C-alpha cells in the first residue's frame, strides 16, 4: 500500500522539479532579456553620442549654446529646463495626488469612489499629444489671462520678482509646461498611492480609531507611515515620467535654447529638443549631439531611480 503510493509520488516529484527548472529558466531569460536590451541601449547611445563628447568635451555639459549653423552644441540649457519643469511638476502634483488618494480610500462615500477612481485612471490614458494641443490652444490663453498677466503686472519694476516673471504674455513657457506636466503625472501618482493605501489592513486603522484618533491623526500617524516606502516609489515613477515627457512639453514650453531666466520664459527640455530636431538633423555633430542628449537624459533618470532606491533602502532599515 505504501509502496504503491511512493512509486506514484516519485515520477510526479521528478516531473515537478523539471517543470520548476524550466519555469526558473524562463523567468531568468525574461529578466536578462530586459537587462540586455537596457545595456544595448546605453551602449548604442554612448557610441552614437561619442562624436559630440569628443568634439565638445566637458563644455557639452556646461555650455548652453545650441547653434546648428555653427555646429556648436551644449546640453546645459536643455538639462536645466528638464530639471526645472520636472521638479515644479512634482511640486504641484504631489499634494493633489496624495489628496485624491487619501480621499478615495479613507473619506469618499462608496457611491463616488468608482466614478472618481475611473476619472483619475482615464486621465492617465489620454495621449500626450492631446495634452499638448489642449495646452497650446486652450490652457495657454487661459493661463496667460488669469495667472501670468496678473503676476507680471503686479511685479515691481527693478525687483528680482520682476526678473523671474518676465516673459511673453501668451501662456507659453516654463511654468505652464510644468502645470501641464503636473496634470499628466497626477493620475500615475494618485492611482499608485490609492493602491498602496488599500493594502493597509483594516485592523490597523480601526485600532487607531478605537484608541480615539481623529481621521487626520490616523492618516498622518498610521496610514502614511505604513505606505512610506511604496509612496517614494510612486513619486519617483511620476518624476521619471515628467523627466521624459516629450510632445506635450514641446507644444507649450516655447522652445528657446539656453538657460531659462524666469518662470514665464521660453525654455526647452532634453526630450523636446530631440523631438524637435532629430528628424531634420543631417550633420554628424548635430545628430550625435542629440543622441548624447538622450544619454544625458538616461543618466538623469537613472540617478533619480537610484536615489529612490537609496531612500527606500534607508526607510526599510529604519
Partner 1 sequence: MLRKILIGVAACVALTACSNNSDKAADGKAAAASVQISGAGATFPAPLYAKWAEAQKAETGLALNYQAIGSGGGIKQIKAKTVAFGASDKPLKPEELEADGLAQFPTVIGGVVPIVNLPGVTPGQLKLSGPLLADIFLGTVKKWNDPAIAKVNPGVTLPNLPITVVHRSDGSGTTFLFTSYLTAAAPQWAKVGASDAVAWPTGQGGKGNDGVSGYVKQTPGAIGYVEYAFAKQNSLAHASLQNSAGAFVEPTAESFAAAASGADWTKAPGFYLLLINQPGQNAWPITGATFILVHKAQADAASGKAVLSFVDWAYAKGDTAANDLAYVPLPADLKQLVRASWSTIVGPDGKPVFTPAAQ
Q: Which residues bind partner 1 (CB under 8 A)?
A: 65-70, 136-137, 140-141, 144, 168-172, 250-251, 254-257, 266, 268, 272, 275-277, 279-282
Q: How far is the CB of 77 from partner 1 (least distance, A)?
A: 11
Residue 138 vs 299, nearer CB to partner 1: 138
Residue 219 vs 253, nearer CB to partner 1: 253
H/E segment holding residue 72: strand 72-73
Residue 138 vs 303, nearer CB to partner 1: 138
Cβ within 8 Å of residue 106, ≥6 positions away: 197, 215, 218, 219, 223
Residue 59 vs 304, nearer CB to partner 1: 59
If you count them, how many residues does the chain have?
318
Q: How far is the CB of 140 from partner 1 (least distance, A)?
A: 6
- 267 bridge partner residues: 254
Candidates 274, 255, 277, 257; CA nearest to 76 is 257
| HSE-CB for 194 with a 13 A CA cutoff | 23
Residue 196 vs 270, nearer CB to partner 1: 270
| HSE-CB for 140 with a 13 A CA cutoff | 23
Distance CA 171, CA 177 (A): 9
Provide the CA 112 distance to its chain's centre, in angstroms.
Answer: 28
Residue 223 vs 255, nearer CB to partner 1: 255
How many of the other CB atoms lie within 10 Å of CB of 303?
10
How many of the other CB atoms lie within 10 Å of CB of 19?
10
Q: How far is the CB of 141 from partner 1 (least distance, A)?
A: 5
What are the cell numbers at 231? 509612496
Cβ within 8 Å of residue 156, ≥6 positions away: 162
Q: How far is the CB of 266 from partner 1 (least distance, A)?
A: 5
Residue 290 vs 296, nearer CB to partner 1: 290
Distance CA 206, CA 290 (A): 55
Q: How far is the CB of 173 from partner 1 (least distance, A)?
A: 8
Q: How far is the CB of 68 from partner 1 (least distance, A)?
A: 4
Q: How far is the CB of 246 from partner 1 (least distance, A)?
A: 11
Amino acid at each position: 500500500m505504501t509502496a504503491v503510493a511512493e512509486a506514484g509520488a516519485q515520477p510526479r516529484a521528478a516531473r515537478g522539479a523539471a517543470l520548476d527548472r524550466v519555469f526558473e529558466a524562463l523567468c531568468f531569460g525574461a529578466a536578462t532579456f530586459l537587462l540586455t536590451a537596457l545595456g544595448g541601449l546605453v551602449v548604442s547611445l554612448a557610441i552614437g553620442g561619442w562624436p559630440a563628447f569628443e568634439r565638445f568635451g566637458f563644455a557639452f555639459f556646461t555650455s548652453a549654446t545650441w547653434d546648428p549653423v555653427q555646429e556648436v552644441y551644449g546640453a546645459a540649457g536643455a538639462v536645466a529646463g528638464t530639471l526645472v519643469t520636472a521638479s515644479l511638476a512634482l511640486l504641484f502634483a504631489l499634494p493633489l495626488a496624495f489628496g485624491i488618494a487619501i480621499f478615495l480610500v479613507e473619506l469618499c462615500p462608496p457611491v463616488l469612489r468608482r466614478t472618481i477612481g475611473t476619472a483619475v485612471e482615464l486621465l492617465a490614458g489620454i495621449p500626450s499629444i492631446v495634452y499638448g494641443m489642449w495646452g497650446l490652444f486652450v490652457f495657454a490663453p487661459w493661463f496667460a489671462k488669469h495667472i501670468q498677466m496678473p503676476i507680471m503686472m503686479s511685479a515691481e519694476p527693478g525687483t528680482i520678482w520682476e526678473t523671474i516673471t518676465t516673459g511673453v504674455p501668451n501662456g507659453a513657457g516654463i511654468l505652464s509646461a510644468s502645470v501641464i506636466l503636473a496634470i499628466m503625472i497626477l493620475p500615475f501618482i494618485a492611482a499608485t498611492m490609492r493602491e498602496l493605501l488599500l493594502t493597509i489592513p483594516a485592523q490597523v486603522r480601526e485600532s487607531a480609531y478605537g484608541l480615539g484618533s481623529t481621521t487626520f491623526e490616523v492618516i498622518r500617524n498610521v496610514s502614511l507611515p505604513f505606505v512610506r516606502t511604496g509612496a517614494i516609489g510612486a513619486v519617483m515613477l511620476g518624476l521619471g515620467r515628467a523627466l521624459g515627457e516629450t510632445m506635450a512639453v514641446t507644444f507649450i514650453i516655447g522652445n528657446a535654447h539656453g538657460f531659462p531666466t524666469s518662470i514665464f520664459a521660453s525654455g526647452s527640455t532634453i526630450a523636446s529638443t530631440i523631438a524637435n530636431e532629430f528628424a531634420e538633423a543631417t550633420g554628424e555633430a548635430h545628430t550625435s549631439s542629440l543622441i548624447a542628449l538622450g544619454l544625458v537624459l538616461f543618466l538623469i533618470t537613472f540617478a533619480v531611480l537610484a536615489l529612490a532606491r537609496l531612500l527606500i533602502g534607508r526607510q526599510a532599515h529604519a
